[in-house]
Amino acid sequence: MSHRTALITGAAKRVGAAIARELHSAGLQVVIHYHHSTAEANALVAELNDKRPASAWLLQADLADSQALPELVDAAIDCNGRLDVLVNNASVFYPTPLEAIDDDNWSNMMNVNLRAPLLLARHAAAQLRSNRGCIINLTDIHGERPLSKHPLYSTSKAGLIMLTKALAKEMAPEVRVNAVSPGAVLWPEAMTEANQQEILSRIALDERGSPEDIARAVLFFVRDANYVTGQVLSVDGGRLLSQ
């Protein structure tokens, strides 16, 4: 694994940072993409390079800007001379009640959550094919069961699930494409304790997961799933079992 390089989008904090740490611990070189979280991104890269010098790099880009995406892929390749893994983790999440939806929040949600993973995969395809690499998309259980007052977010993640399967077919046999679908691993900042307990009551394992649970699933697809493509792994504690 030590010669392989992974680009992780939205990796400055939360789940993305956990994925970066997990892949780095497994021996990969990591390219940390961020948009606004400059301080967190710098701290993470410094942390990883302290553990293993010249093993982590930092790139900034707005994923809603389609013109920035080829440059992001090219810069990621330049960091270590190759690209083997693309982890599409970055995501936009906020409520869009039906009566409040407008062109701007439609474009913002779809451009970051769906268009960016597609275009990054397209721009990285030649490099990933050459290295027999892989793509892991971070979807969501709400791509299968819609979240109330979040129709745009739920639709964007449903599209990403289908994109995962479509890319797996288009990029085979050289590139494996899979997805990890998180359940409750981090609470939104504005969520009340009552809402948290209501969600926990519908989880078969009766507890919240962690970003590290998601990171270990990503590592599985990178390192251990050589004969798996086009699959979506729900890491949700059994949440989808609930009616």
Classify residue 156 as exposed, middle or buried by CB count within 10 Å of its CB (0-12, 13-18, 19+).
buried
- Tell whether 154 is covered by a domain: yes
- Tell whether 168 is covered by a domain: yes
- Does residue 173 have a cis bond before it (omega within 30 degrees)? yes
| Residue matched to tokens 């939205």 | 10
Quick: pLDDT tens for 32-76.
Answer: 999 999 999 999 999 999 999 999 999 999 999 999 999 999 999
Residue 198: band (very low, low, confident or very high) from pLDDT cuts 50, 70, 90: confident
- pTM for this prediction: 0.95
Residue 26, pLDDT score: 97
The residues assigned a catalytic role are 153
Q: Is 234 left (phi over 0), alpha (psi -120 to 50) or beta?
A: beta
- Tell whether 53 is covered by a domain: yes
Average the pLDDT over 213-227 and give the result: 98
Q: Which domain holds residue 144?
A: 5-238
Specify the number of domains making up the chain.
1
Largest CA distance in the chain: 51
Residue 243: band (very low, low, confident or very high) from pLDDT cuts 50, 70, 90: low
Q: Is 10 left (phi over 0), alpha (psi -120 to 50) or beta?
A: left
- Tell whether 128 is covered by a domain: yes
Distances (CA, A) of 134 to 95, 121, 197, 223: 32, 10, 37, 10
CATH number assigned to the domain comprising residue 121: 3.40.50.720
- Tell whether 196 is covered by a domain: yes
Q: Across the beta sheet with 56-60, what order do the strands follow?
A: 56-60, 29-34, 5-8, 85-88, 134-138, 176-182, 232-235
- Tell whether 243 is covered by a domain: no
